[in-house]
Structure 1
Amino acid sequence: MKIVAPPRLPATEELLKLVVEKVQSGMMPATVDEKRRYLHWDKIRHLKTPDKFDSIEQYWHFLKFSRRGQQKLLPFTEEFSYILTDDIQKNIHEIDTQMRGSIEAENIGKDKKKYIIRSLMDEAISSSQLEGAATTRKVARDMLRHNKEPEDYSQRMIYNNYQAINFIDKYKHDDLTPELILELHKIVTDNTIDNPDDEGRFRRDDDINVVDNLTGNVLHSPPEHQSLPDRMKVLCDFANGNMLNSFVHPIIRAIIVHFALAYDHPFVDGNGRTARALFYWVALKNNYWLFQ
């Protein structure tokens, strides 16, 4: 992964002049491009400069400025925000109609338990493979189906993820708390991190960065460890939907929770596995049971 240098930021007066000039010439602010894509600078910088713009950087600043009025701010320390494009809202509608309770009796019925158990196994395997687990699905399913003791690191990751998914299913009706996040982390990292004392514990220093494994370049420096207890409380309140005068669709909320946990990077290891588990927590808590 390569960090793309941002374009030169124009002065406020220059930017306002650009926006007024383009709007007066008949250009309407846009969120997406002509192909309905929500593009970022790392993509736009390679495109041909659109007509009526002097440079691709000028076009980017006009596009970015036009998006500001559609941003929805999030209740975190940083000024994070999101925009719901038409395509995103279409996808959310499809999830709402396809993945909630009414489909249960029609398509699964009496085989629901068997169907879900198989799906949970496959999810535990797939999630672990994202983290580098190397084993066949046949061997992994046999281990989970017969509750065998894992024989190596890869099997342990899969076993842990399966236990975590079942933990989520058991407590999905409870509110998410920092204590439950710690318990979840302890489950997914059991016997898979260097120091067992780090299982189920927030990191105690700032000696951690997200780096590119190929180049060693630092991609992200997480917040200071002293702020983690407060940040986790805010994250849990958001995940539980405890926001005054604000509503975020549960699926969007689950995605944001996944992002926020990864951004905070509260653990020495196992942040990715814990973030994915929290996504499922929010989805199942809000009755999207077919995610199982």
Structure 2
Amino acid sequence: MTPLNRIQAPKEITLSGDVVALLQQVDENAERLNERRPFSRETELEVRRAFLPDRVTATLNIEGIAATRRQTLAIMDAMVISQNPAKEDQEILNALKADEFVYNQYEYGADLDALMIREVNRLLLHTLKTEGGEFRRVQVEISGASFQPPAPTDIAPLLSDLLTGYRNAEFLHPVVRAALVHHQVSFVHPFVDGNGRTARLLQDFVLMKGRLYPTGVPSSQRDQYYQALQKADAGDWDEIVSLLAQNQLSTLGKIDAITRAPEERMKWITSLTKVASTKKTGALHKQYIVWKSRMEQIRDAFARAASEIDESSDVIGVAYRWYETVDFDDWKSLVTTGRRPAFTWSISLLFFMDGEPIYKIIGFFSRHRTKPDDFTVDLREVVSMQFTGIEARSQERPDFVNYSDPDIRLRELLYHDDKLHTFTESGGERDCVDDKSIEDVVRELFEDVFYRKGGLAG
């Protein structure tokens, strides 16, 4: 192993054109959102509460700490634990208090310094390690890393260099600056334990200072995350910056949805229908609005079920991510030509058994492909939600055209004559029924994955 002997200077960071373009997209999305800031105190608290449970659970899971979202929510509500708590409960409470400290430091206008770094670690290790918040006095090695952290006597001067570089790095994009602090704290490894959790919280502090939002690192990105840090050790910053930028874009999109009041949404819908310049265009707009509402109801039903399973079980889980529905122009293109835009995903569902991913389902929009056994010929210009899937650890791309799986039956959902039609496939036979509710469809899909793919006993 090679010992660390210096901190990389901010001016040494170079990024590829693709990553620079990604950062520009972050700026554009953040600027649109920031035009509506400041939000009310209630909205700020709602946004914070919407992301905090997943962020805290993820930072612990990355370290192999078996915390669950349900545990985190329960402890969040009271911010206290039992007199003789389980280790996981103490870890969750510590992470929540450390996150609260970082948020308060941001609100008070504090800047990053050595005392903040030490206090974050102290809070994370409260009652778990006597050395919490104290720079280590022993040499350590990091399993799987290509370098050896510095000697204890070098920690203080290296952190001083880190802080000097941070203060001189205002020219960097906030995401790059956050990646710099995150990586360098991990690289110096100043504490006996909790270095990764400390680094991720400091990353979020730097993002907030740059008028962006805390993102953490989802536990599903664990391998990609560690690989990105290792590449940054060698001076290649593209992967860690790209990972944080993608997560920031996802967060910005979700916050945008949260902060837009229903009344504003209705104003937009009303305005959209009035803009139509012809009767035909007006009719299409109305069709699109009805279709969009129905498709989002379907998407939200899957998301609600996934969230409730995560909160109800420590054995099975479903991580979901939803996407903005295709806009009117893309929908119209689908209806009239059948050509799909570059991206039409509605929701992705990653299923877990005992903490291990087993299968991924993607719901996406496409024009219905008519077949001789269709129940009516009027489906030639209907855009439906279609489904594909793939084994969680597969390196192949999902099949968005001819998806086939003997265990997963759901293939397509569409509305016709105000009825939900469900297309399924089993044993090579295709079937369509119109007597199922969306809740029936969700239940059957989740049961197919957990019973047939996961081997869950019935």
TM-score by length of 2: 0.41
Task: Check if 1:268 corresponds to 2:192.
Answer: yes
Letter in 2 for 1:282: V
**CA distance 1:188–1:99, change in 2 (3 Å):** farther
**Unmatched tracts of structure 1, length 5 or more:** 4-75, 213-217
The SS at the match of 1:282 is helix
Letter in 1 for 2:124: V
The SS at the match of 1:99 is helix
1:163 to 97, 101, 115: 97
Residue 16 of structure 2 corresponds to which residue in structure 1? 85
Report the more deviating stretch, 77-86 or 164-173: 77-86
CA distance in 2, matches of 1:99, 1:160: 30
The SS at the match of 1:210 is coil
Greater Rg by CA: 2
Corresponding pairs, count: 206
CA distance in 1, matches of 2:214, 2:191: 29
Letter in 2 for 1:154: E
Letter in 1 for 2:188: D
Task: Check if 1:124 corresponds to 2:47.
Answer: no
1:200 to 133, 140, 146: 133
Runs of 4+ in 1 over 4 A off after TM superposition: 76-80
Tell me the alpha carbon deviations over residues 71-129 of structure 1, each in whole angstroms, 9 at most, x when there is no partner.
xxxxx5457833211111111112222235734738x7653322312312221111111
- Answer whether contact 1:254 1:279 (CA < 8 A) is retained: yes
- Answer whether contact 2:186 2:195 (CA < 8 A) is retained: yes
Tell me the alpha carbon deviations over residues 157-185 of structure 1, each in whole angstroms, 9 at most, x when there is no partner.
22211111111111122121111111111
1:211 to 125, 143, 151: 143
CA distance in 2, matches of 1:78, 1:111: 39
- Answer whether contact 1:121 1:141 (CA < 8 A) is retained: yes
Name whichever structure is richer in strand by fraction. Answer: 2
**CA distance 1:192–1:118, change in 2 (3 Å):** farther
CA distance in 2, matches of 1:261, 1:115: 27
- Answer whether contact 1:124 1:159 (CA < 8 A) is retained: no
Residue 248 of structure 1 corresponds to which residue in structure 2? 172
- Answer whether contact 1:250 1:282 (CA < 8 A) is retained: yes
Task: Check if 1:152 corresponds to 2:86.
Answer: yes
CA distance in 1, matches of 2:87, 2:146: 27
The SS at the match of 2:119 is helix
CA distance in 1, matches of 2:202, 2:124: 12
For residue 284 of structure 1, report the CA deviation from its aligned partner. 0.8
- Answer whether contact 2:60 2:67 (CA < 8 A) is retained: no
Q: Which has the higher contact order (CA 8 A, sep 6+)?
A: 1
For residue 238 of structure 1, report the CA deviation from its aligned partner. 2.5
Task: Check if 1:235 corresponds to 2:162.
Answer: yes
CA distance in 1, matches of 2:19, 2:7: 25
- Answer whether contact 2:207 2:214 (CA < 8 A) is retained: no
CA distance in 1, matches of 2:136, 2:49: 33
For residue 140 of structure 1, report the CA deviation from its aligned partner. 2.0
The SS at the match of 2:171 is coil
Letter in 2 for 1:230: P
CA distance in 2, matches of 1:247, 1:135: 38
The SS at the match of 2:36 is helix
CA distance in 2, matches of 1:170, 1:284: 11
1:220 to 134, 139, 147: 147
**CA distance 1:124–1:181, change in 2 (3 Å):** same
CA distance in 2, matches of 1:289, 1:140: 20
For residue 192 of structure 1, report the CA deviation from its aligned partner. 2.7
**CA distance 1:117–1:91, change in 2 (3 Å):** same
CA RMSD, aligned part only?
2.7
Tell me the alpha carbon deviations over residues 197-237 of structure 1, each in whole angstroms, 9 at most, x when there is no partner.
x111001122x10113xxxxx64211121111111112122
For residue 189 of structure 1, report the CA deviation from its aligned partner. 1.4
The SS at the match of 2:176 is helix
**CA distance 1:184–1:104, change in 2 (3 Å):** farther
- Answer whether contact 1:211 1:220 (CA < 8 A) is retained: no
The share of aligned pairs that are identical, in percent, is 24
**CA distance 1:174–1:79, change in 2 (3 Å):** closer
- Answer whether contact 2:149 2:188 (CA < 8 A) is retained: yes
CA distance in 2, matches of 1:183, 1:101: 34
